[in-house]
Chains A and B, each alone.
Chain A
């Protein structure tokens, strides 16, 4: 099977190029396996990966124009030649490795930790199954950045618009019955950019490898802010 891989080495290359590799396909082969087969032949080629089962979120890449995890993508589902590029819109460090710092900064900017004013009880903080259900679809995020780097609003304003991942995280805490900083969290999302640059294009929903729905989470936040302001 023919692969065209984005290559760029900051010490040797003035601009990126696409390099062609042939990989012998085995039954059940994942894209990560194919990339590893390429690396075994050419150790100068690099990409991030780790768990191999879609939970660590290391190997988000752009394949034939769509962001996905290499380890959970079957090569047999891909159109040949398979074009593999780094996640779009982020500075490339080398080959498929992008600089994720802006993405992480936006995540950190929503104060992504449980906040409480009251002393903790001696045992667990009670939470009903119905309250806990509200976190499903939010807490499972693996921070692979497939969503934020497929979002046009994030491409244009990566420093001002928080992007779907950080907003999903904000919603995860706003909707947690144990968290007591809801008002503060919603206030922090005010203004024309941080949240309201989301134009519900829904690229994030299409690409999320965990089947999460950041657009719906953003909708929740918007609704709560409206309710808060009246």
Chain B
């Protein structure tokens, strides 16, 4: 029986900040918008973003977008594309005002303007005094933004497919993307959604690591879908370990805690960041703070009976600041660490947090792939948010720039899609062969028989990634990791589902997610093995220096044959002078 089909002007996969901000632009301009999300939209992981969104509003301290741009370029360890970064930092300002108008309940200053807090890696005047650039709704900024965007989409009558899972993109022989094959989780029924454009906004892939700050749903689905139609993933070796996850658990303790004046101490009660970053101290960039914590622990200055965590001290801020500015953190600390930060320090350890890499796009969210003399767009395909790589974060993302990234590029992708649909007003014919190719993963998991279970293989994958692609990476460690991944590929092929029923079969969804996790984990491990330098989050004791001569370039990983390619960093901004690479000290 042929599969059911539905047609929309545009399809958006993922209902976090990027997907919903794009959807809002499009629905408000009268296009038929389908948003497919594997969870109810307000459960998307944007909801968990705590600290805030960066924009040089200058509400608290002097600021401008050009300083923001400098900090972001420096934070990226000079791997970010400076045209995209200039664009993001300029667009940040109208984007935040638009969100405020949409209803986001930002915290306020006495004069009624949006409250802004200090965050890591922020400076005034190109590396001078600390700036305060992060617009916050207490420590629940992501929640406040996601709910407001969902609410505005209800007004705009966006068509939601809640709890539908996207399996594969549909790409025809000419390379045009025509929509996606999706499955309704409640009924187990597949459906073809035909669309003139498809936006991947599926978020991150933190579940490739065992200890992570990510939600269960962050399985790199969009990244893996892109890989499967031949699109490479860019800069996947750059994965951020957030310095302050709750020790042993991984839940995030926002950088906002340090922005409000909290600081880290070792077992001697020493404020050790003074030694690693004398100027910025606890508000140095995340990669720097994570490495410092790992070094302290390795050198025997960790806290607790096993010496395996650091303490984040907050109590000196006083109960009132903690209650007013960090209520969510206080709640999480009580529940998961059993401490009230208003009175006791929080045990913390770096946690896998954020993928700087992703699906390569230009600054309008259009997916780009290498062609003989440069690069070309994939017609009909867009990507935005954590699954994409514009590239604004380069080798290390600054706190407060991820909400910014998803909102700016979601919004801009929406505007560009509007133009694309105007120029390409008709659906193209969708061939059965294209559909057949897309349905393969679904059919593969219908096989019966014995074999390893999905949960078991996923646990092995997560352990392998944690052990072999963590904060410190050497050739030997990573090579061993790739070998283990080779062996795991056979285990994955042998894995079987026990439950083949249709109704709300989350086991099937988890199996499809495992396929995605594997592909993305492999992209990360192979890209990391190839990069022989230390830059940003990619830290190699065997190549401890940044090597701008050889390696100031973006990695591109292709699924076919694990092939690597590279492309230059775009160092020319739109209107201002280039920031040339400099040693990165905080």
A interface residue numbers (CB < 8 A to B): 9-12, 28, 39-40, 43-44, 46, 48-58, 72, 74, 93-95, 97, 100, 104, 108, 111-114, 116, 120, 122-129, 131-132, 135, 139-140, 142-143, 176, 178-179
Which residues of the partner chain B approach A50 to less than 8 Å between Cβ atoms? Answer: 39, 43, 45, 215-217
Q: Report the minimal beta-carbon distance from A113 to chain B, rounded to whole angstroms.
A: 4
Which residues of the partner chain A approach B217 to less than 8 Å between Cβ atoms? Answer: 50
Q: Does B505 contact A (CB under 8 A)?
A: yes
Closest to B455 in A: A40
A97 to B40: give the CA distance in the assembly, Å: 13
Which residues of the partner chain B approach A43 to less than 8 Å between Cβ atoms? Answer: 453-455, 497-499, 507
Which residues of the partner chain B approach A123 to less than 8 Å between Cβ atoms? Answer: 57, 97, 113
Stretch at the interface among B99-107, B192-200, B397-405, B549-557: B99-107
Contact assessment for A140 and B501 in the assembled complex, using a CB-CB cutoff below 8 Å: no
Contacts A44-B498, A54-B331, A139-B105 known; A114 to B455 CB distance under 8 Å? no
A164 to B43: give the CA distance in the assembly, Å: 19
B interface residue numbers (CB < 8 A to A): 39-40, 42-45, 47-48, 57, 97, 100-103, 105-114, 137, 140, 143-144, 147-148, 151-152, 154-155, 186, 215-217, 248-249, 251-252, 328, 331-332, 335-336, 338, 453-456, 497-499, 501-507
Which residues of the partner chain B approach A39 to less than 8 Å between Cβ atoms? Answer: 455
Q: Report the minimal beta-carbon distance from A6 to chain B, rounded to whole angstroms.
A: 14
Q: List 26 A-B contacts (CB under 8 A).
A: A28-B248, A40-B453, A43-B453, A43-B497, A43-B507, A46-B507, A51-B45, A53-B336, A56-B42, A58-B39, A95-B504, A97-B504, A104-B40, A113-B102, A114-B102, A116-B101, A123-B97, A124-B100, A125-B100, A125-B101, A126-B111, A129-B109, A142-B42, A142-B143, A143-B42, A179-B103
Of A12, A55, A113, the residue contacting B501 (CB under 8 A) is A12
A116 to B453: give the CA distance in the assembly, Å: 53
Closest to A47 in B: B506
Contact assessment for B502 and A11 in the assembled complex, using a CB-CB cutoff below 8 Å: yes
A111 to B186: give the CA distance in the assembly, Å: 27
Contacts A46-B506, A176-B105 known; A93 to B47 CB distance under 8 Å? no
A51 to B45: give the CA distance in the assembly, Å: 7
Which residues of the partner chain A approach B44 to less than 8 Å between Cβ atoms? Answer: 56
Q: Report the minimal beta-carbon distance from B192 to chain A, rounded to whole angstroms.
A: 24
Closest to B43 in A: A56
Which residues of the partner chain B approach A28 to less than 8 Å between Cβ atoms? Answer: 248-249, 336, 338
Of A51, A56, A132, the residue contacting B108 (CB under 8 A) is A132
Contact assessment for A129 and B108 in the assembled complex, using a CB-CB cutoff below 8 Å: yes
Contact assessment for A124 and B103 in the assembled complex, using a CB-CB cutoff below 8 Å: no
Contact assessment for A72 and B335 in the assembled complex, using a CB-CB cutoff below 8 Å: yes
A39 to B137: give the CA distance in the assembly, Å: 36
Closest to B458 in A: A40
Contact assessment for B507 and A93 in the assembled complex, using a CB-CB cutoff below 8 Å: no
Which residues of the partner chain B approach A11 to less than 8 Å between Cβ atoms? Answer: 501-503
Of B151, B216, B455, the residue contacting A113 (CB under 8 A) is B151
Closest to B155 in A: A113
Closest to A107 in B: B154
Closest to B137 in A: A139
Q: Report the minimal beta-carbon distance from B142 to chain A, rounded to whole angstroms.
A: 8
